[in-house]
Amino acid sequence: MNRLLALTLLSSLALAQEETAASISKKSRERGALNLVGLTAEMKLVTTGADGKAKEQQLTSSSRDIGGRSHALARFSLPAGVAGVAVLTVAGQQGEGDDVSLYLPKLKRVRKVAKSDRGKSFMDTDFSYADIGSNGARDEDVKRLPDAQLEGRDCYVLAGRGDDSSPYGEVKLFIDKQTFVPLKAEYADKVGKPYKRYRALKLKSFNERVLAAESLMENLQTGSRTQLMILKLETSTLGDEAFSERALERG
């Protein structure tokens, strides 16, 4: 082994050892399927109920870091019944839950999603409002467990508890060491029963980043599941002003 390679490996090892649970959680959240910081993605959501009936929705999702807080904006385009609906999620600070605003074009108004409603279904899918900008647990509350392998990839493993506004009691995350993409998440409800499971099905490289191009959220209690597919990716050109309630109303 030459000296340069040895130094590179030692540097990588030192960096990995320096990663805290909170920093791993934050980096993974910014690479989550619904919170791609700095990017704009056209997405398809396919939700299949326990009866086998499926419905599709399409949306555009953009995310930006503003003042150290993640801002995620989702706008639905299909089907016609949800076209124009928009959701703005601003990451909470100092342990607070995320701030979620919903624009309903039929009412032509923006309303806040109450903390008590964060666990409700996001647009009739198996994702909840709490899933949009979060990985289910607060960064500062997660603990690092022994590393593991998932389908041949080395993973950080984190565990935490959802806050008061989260639908989850316990969360366990498997995060790819090389890319910080969350590969799997296991969620329990407030009484400790298995609730939901998230899995990244397909990874994709884009501008020196690796993302979950396809992922699946399963509700283990109802038998429903939602597959999320990224149809198109590009660097976001939206400015800070686009991530506001006033911009939601403008469409």
Dist. CA 200–CA 248, nearest whole Å: 30
Average pLDDT over residues 204-220: 92
Place of tokens 């904006």: 73
Task: Judge contact between 56 and 44, C-beta under 8 A.
Answer: yes
Secondary structure (DSSP) of 101-166: EEEETTTTEEEE--GGGTTSBSTTSSSBGGGSS--SS-GGG-EEEEEEEETTEEEEEEEEE--TT-
Joined together, the tokens standing for residue 23 give 């920093």
Highest mean pLDDT among 22-26, 86-90, 191-195, 245-249: 191-195
Joined together, the tokens standing for residue 189 give 């409800």
Q: What's the pTM value of the predicted model, to 2 decimals?
A: 0.85
Average pLDDT over residues 19-27: 89
Question: Percentage of the chain surpassing pLDDT 90?
Answer: 59
Distances (CA, A) of 121 to 62, 137, 219, 225: 20, 17, 11, 12
User: What confidence tier does 31 reach under pLDDT thresholds 50, 70, 90?
Assistant: confident
User: What confidence tier does 166 reach under pLDDT thresholds 50, 70, 90?
Assistant: confident
Distances (CA, A) of 42 to 57, 58, 73, 83, 167: 11, 7, 12, 14, 27
pLDDT over 70 at 48, yes or no: yes
What CATH number has the domain spanning 21-250?
A: 2.50.20.10
User: What burial class does residue 45 get, using C-beta atoms within 10 Å of its C-beta: 0-12 exposed, 13-18 middle, 19+ buried?
Assistant: buried
pLDDT over 70 at 33, yes or no: no
Dist. CA 70–CA 66, nearest whole Å: 6
pLDDT over 90 at 224, yes or no: yes
Average pLDDT over residues 148-160: 95
Secondary structure (DSSP) of 214-226: EEEEEETTT--EE
User: What confidence tier does 208 reach under pLDDT thresholds 50, 70, 90?
Assistant: confident
Q: What is the mean pLDDT of the chain?
A: 87
pLDDT over 50 at 15, yes or no: no
Q: Which residues of 170-209 are buried (b: 16+ CB within 10 A; e: fewer)?
A: bbbbbbbbebbbbbbbbbbbeeeeebbbbbbeebeeeeeb
User: What confidence tier does 4 reach under pLDDT thresholds 50, 70, 90?
Assistant: very low
Dist. CA 179–CA 186, nearest whole Å: 19
pLDDT over 60 at 140, yes or no: yes
Task: Check residue 7 and give its pLDDT.
Answer: 42
pLDDT over 90 at 249, yes or no: no
Task: Check residue 35 and give its pLDDT.
Answer: 61
- Half-sphere exposure (CA, 13 Å, Cβ side) for 16? 18
Q: Is the dihedral of CA 67, 27, 158, 87 positive or negative?
A: positive
